């Protein structure tokens, strides 16, 4: 992990829940996406521009391998117009499609999936030495030299199904940053169901996945006393 004192104040990015690949890679390198792009950072030889480009390649690889599930995945293509000039076009693709290069400026990923990848793969990002990082929180101190990363998705035991895929999707995209000591970090029922329906889940499936993943204390209505009075209680 690289810590440095020359990073800009990036606090204005703390509330952003979705990033383009370009913006995510710049933030991971401690460069403000509001002030420059990847190409401009390289042209100007800004500090850590190589790290930013390396992070962009890493995110694209993670998308290809299914480690990061994009909200929108677009590829860019170049074709000649009537005058023989190259024209840039983009279109939505599946992350596994190899017909075109993933577009860094139009492919969108969530903060949760990005943090999950950074955590499980121990990706080294640039952090300010005196302020809180805007991409991922500092790791908690431990007495152990090596800390096993938190499991962010289901283990694989040789069986899968559509339902398990939706469960895994919800864990990676919505529950990976949940802190049990802070209930406000949990996704709402509406957020979970809406996300799963957008991914193709039916209404009953989305409801079931939400119920399975939601801790009992976070379910609407809280805990209820369903004890039936007995003759001894009367």
pLDDT tens track for 83-95: 777 788 899 999 9
* Start-to-end CA span in the chain (Å): 65
Q: Quickly state the pLDDT bin for 4 (edges 50, 70, 90).
A: low
Q: Please indicate whether residue 5 or residue 40 has the higher confidence score (pLDDT).
A: 40
pLDDT above 60 (res 26): yes
Give the 3-state secondary structure of residue 193: helix
Structure confidence at residue 135 (pLDDT):
61
Q: Which two tokens stand for residue 185?
A: 């970090």
The DSSP output letter for 127 is E
What residues contact 59, with CB distance under 8 A and at least 6 apart?
Answer: 21, 24, 25, 68, 109, 114, 117
Structure confidence at residue 166 (pLDDT):
86
Is residue 55 within 8 Å of 125, Cβ to Cβ?
A: yes
Structure confidence at residue 228 (pLDDT):
46
Pinpoint the alpha helices (H) of the chain: 21-28, 38-44, 49-64, 111-120, 162-170, 189-198, 203-213
Please state, in angstroms and rounded to a whole number, the distance separating the CA atoms of residues 178 and 186: 5
Each domain of the chain, given as residue ranges in start order, spans 2-72+103-128, 163-218
Averaged pLDDT, 181-190? 88
pLDDT above 70 (res 155): no
Q: Please indicate whether residue 219 or residue 50 has the higher confidence score (pLDDT).
A: 50
Structure confidence at residue 132 (pLDDT):
40
Is residue 114 within 8 Å of 24, Cβ to Cβ?
A: yes
For 64-123, the pLDDT digits (tens) are 988 898 999 999 887 776 777 778 889 999 998 888 899 999 999 998 889 888 888 888
Structure confidence at residue 184 (pLDDT):
87
Q: Global pTM?
A: 0.56
> Closest Cα to residue 117, out of 193, 62, 195?
62
Can you say how many angstroms the Cα of residue 31 is from the centroid of all Cα atoms in its chain? 19
For 36-54, the pLDDT digits (tens) are 999 999 999 999 999 999 9
Task: Please list, residue by residue across 71-100, b when 16 or more beta carbons sit within 10 angstroms of its beta carbon and e when fewer do.
Answer: bebbbbeeeeeeeeeeeeeeeebebeeeee
Q: Quickly state the pLDDT bin for 146 (edges 50, 70, 90).
A: very low
The DSSP output letter for 33 is T
Q: Quickly state the pLDDT bin for 33 (edges 50, 70, 90).
A: very high
Q: Quickly state the pLDDT bin for 178 (edges 50, 70, 90).
A: confident
What residues contact 95, with CB distance under 8 A and at least 6 apart?
Answer: 63, 64, 66, 69, 70, 73, 102
């Amino acid at each position: 992990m690289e810590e440095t004192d020359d990073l800009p104040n990036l606090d204005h990015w703390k509330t952003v829940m979705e990033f383009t690949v370009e913006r995510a890679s710049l933030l991971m390198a401690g460069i403000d996406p509001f002030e420059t792009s990847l190409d401009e950072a390289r042209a100007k030889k800004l500090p850590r521009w190589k790290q930013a480009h390396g992070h962009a390649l890493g995110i694209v690889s993670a998308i290809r391998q299914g480690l990061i599930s994009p909200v929108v995945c677009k590829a860019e293509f170049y074709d000649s117009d009537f005058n023989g000039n190259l024209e840039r076009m983009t279109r939505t693709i599946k992350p596994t499609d190899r017909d075109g290069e993933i577009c860094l400026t139009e492919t969108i990923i969530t903060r949760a999936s990005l943090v999950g990848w950074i955590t499980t793969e121990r990706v080294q990002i640039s952090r300010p030495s005196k302020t809180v990082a805007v991409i991922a929180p500092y790791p908690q101190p431990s007495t152990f030299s090596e800390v096993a990363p938190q499991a962010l998705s289901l283990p694989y035991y040789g069986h899968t199904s559509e339902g398990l895929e939706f469960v895994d999707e919800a864990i990676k995209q919505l529950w990976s940053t949940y802190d049990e000591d802070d209930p406000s970090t949990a996704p709402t029922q509406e957020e979970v169901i809406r996300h799963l329906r957008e991914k193709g889940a039916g209404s009953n499936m989305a409801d079931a996945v939400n119920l399975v993943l939601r801790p009992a204390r976070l379910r609407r209505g809280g805990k209820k006393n369903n004890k039936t009075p007995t003759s001894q209680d009367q």
